Amino acid sequence: MTIRERLNLDYARPTKKLIILGSSGFIGNFALEYLRRYPKIQLEGISIHRSIEKLQSIIDEFQPKFVCITDENAFERFQKDFYNPKIKVFKGKEGLIELIEASDSDTVLNALVGSIGIEATFKAIEAQKKICIANKESLITSGPILIDLLKKYKAPLIPVDSEHNAIFQLLLLQNSENIKKILLTASGGPFRDYTLEQIAVVTKEQVLQHPTWNMGPKITVDSAGLINKGLEVIEAHYLFGFSYDMIDVKIHKKSYVHGLVQTMDGAYQCFVSPPSMIFPIAYSLHFPNPVPFVLQEAQDPENWPILEFENVDHRKYPGFSLCIEAGKTGNSAPVILNSANEIAVEMFLQDKIHFTDIPKIIQDALKQIPVVKLEKLHILLEEDKKVRNYVNSKWNEKE
Ligand code: MG
């Protein structure tokens, strides 16, 4: 099956009316910035977690018709302080689904961070919207179910994660028989030049200093241990349908090359752009049309840094290896990995554990929780809950 068929690309149309889920985060901010530059795309709906002052400024600027506030306290506060009869406001995780149902938007940009985004992706597929997917958990935890659902509803899915977007663009230029390998690049995070001894004593402040991307805390922590890249390998596997031995990762410190494709003759094609999410976001919104102007972030080759690549040192990044193992195991193993990681990262951000405990907690969950077959969304959600309960009761309540 070609990527065109797998991701229903013949059904894709350029975005006119957009919903952004996760509008105050890293990707959401870039998307709003792009709408400022290209105001022909109408912002129809947004979701936000709890930053209601930010929400109010987005409403003033873009006047969406529908809003979802996923944090219940923030919802109550917003209704009290900012009541606006012109806007329909939904509440909580269910509100994300109601927002998609209520709006006649043609596109959903799912920029939610974490497994909260999964059901919204499913809803958007059922509603046959174009889905610009930046919520990697939708693919990592429910890849096989999601791909089946895509087949059924013919909703086009465009990857927004920078590496996957790059590989997507490269794959569209090739016959699938001519692909030998796909490669994702990784900046290597802030500890790429550290020794194992140095990594063992890093502080939270050091973990939160990403060398090339300025992202939210969850993804920054994931990136420091290369768990983000491991999750992206699983994401690539489900998105593009390649086996794990056809997917590789190279450390590339400058984050200028986002993805490479090796063809059968051994040659490589690579995708180069400065590290800004504006490129994949603009591309996915306009798809299948091209972005109609040069983005101001673009850089001509004489301004590029020297492009160097290295292999991943697995000893430095035990979490990365766990991701690949869980991906290969398949079924619910990626759910166990992902949910355990989400809890572990939260605990790390609350200063309850050390950075190097994160892979230990994931490894323990993968060892102790049996892998089950995932056929339906509800099984996945039950497994997710089971993992969270296990990890929380074993690690989180111990003070
Ligand atoms: Mg990425």
Which residues lie closer than 8 Å to 47 by C-beta, 6 or more apart?
19, 20, 21, 22, 23, 67, 68, 69, 70, 95, 96, 99, 112
**Residue recorded with tokens 């998105």:** 239
| Region 139-146 average pLDDT | 93
Query: What is the arithmetic mean of pLDDT over 297-305?
Result: 97
Portion of the chain with pLDDT greater than 90, in percent: 90
C-alpha dihedral, 56 to 58 to 64 to 66, nearest 10°: -50
Q: How far is the CA of 25 from the centre of ligand 1 (A)?
A: 14
* Length in residues, the chain: 399
pLDDT of residue 174: 93
Residue 18 CA to ligand 1 center (angstroms) comes to 22
CATH architecture group of domain 3-161: 3-Layer(aba) Sandwich (3.40)
What backbone torsions phi and psi does residue 90 show, to the nearest 5 degrees? -105, 160
Q: What span, in angstroms and rounded, lies between the C-alpha atoms of 240 and 57? A: 38
Distance 244 CA to ligand 1 centre (A): 18
202 CA to middle of ligand 1, Å?
23
Please say whether the beta carbons of 284 and 20 come within 8 A. Answer: no
- Give residue-wise pLDDT tens across range 50-68: 999 999 999 999 999 999 9
CA 163 to ligand 1 centroid distance, Å: 5
Number of Cα atoms under 13 Å in the Cβ half of residue 206: 15
The arithmetic mean of pLDDT across residues 240-254, rounded, is 96
Question: What is the pLDDT, as a whole number, of residue 176?
Answer: 87
* Residues 68-96 pLDDT 10s: 999 999 999 999 998 888 999 999 999 99
CB 216 within 8 A of CB 223: no
Find the 213 Cα to ligand 1 centroid distance in Å.
10
Indicate whether 370 pLDDT > 60: yes
Determine how many CB atoms are found less than 10 A away from the CB of residue 376: 11
pLDDT of residue 10: 98
Alpha-carbon Rg of the chain, whole angstroms? 20
Position 215 scores a pLDDT of: 77
Q: How far is the CA of 161 from the centre of ligand 1 (A)?
A: 5
Contact partners, residue 40, CB within 8 Å, separation at least 6: 16
Q: 231-249 b/e with 16+ CB inside 10 Å = b?
A: bbbbbbbbbbbbeeebbeb
Assign 3-class secondary structure to 262-304: EECCCCEEEEECCCCCHHHHHHHHHCCCCCCCCCCCCCCHHHC
Report residue 208: phi and psi, to 5°.
-85, 5
Give the model confidence (pLDDT) of 164-206 as tens digits.
999 999 999 999 899 999 999 999 989 999 999 999 999 999 9
pLDDT at residue 315, rounded to an integer: 92
290 cis-preceded (ω within 30 degrees of 0): no
Distance 358 CA to ligand 1 centre (A): 20
- Rounded to the nearest angstrom, the gap between the alpha carbon of residue 214 and the centroid of all alpha carbons in its chain is 15
Taking 60 as the threshold, does the pLDDT of residue 398 lie above it?
A: no
Ligand 1 centroid, distance to 229 Cα (angstroms): 7
Distances (CA, A) of 112 to 65, 139, 142, 204, 319: 19, 13, 15, 23, 22
Spacing, Cα 174 to ligand 1 middle (Å): 22
What pLDDT is stored for residue 114 in this prediction? 86
Q: What distance in angstroms lies between residue 232's CA and the mean position of ligand 1's atoms?
A: 7
Residue 199 CA to ligand 1 center (angstroms) comes to 22
Distance, C-alpha 2 to centroid of its chain:
23
Dihedral of the alpha carbons of 214, 218, 220, 221, in degrees to the nearest 10:
160
pLDDT at 277: 96
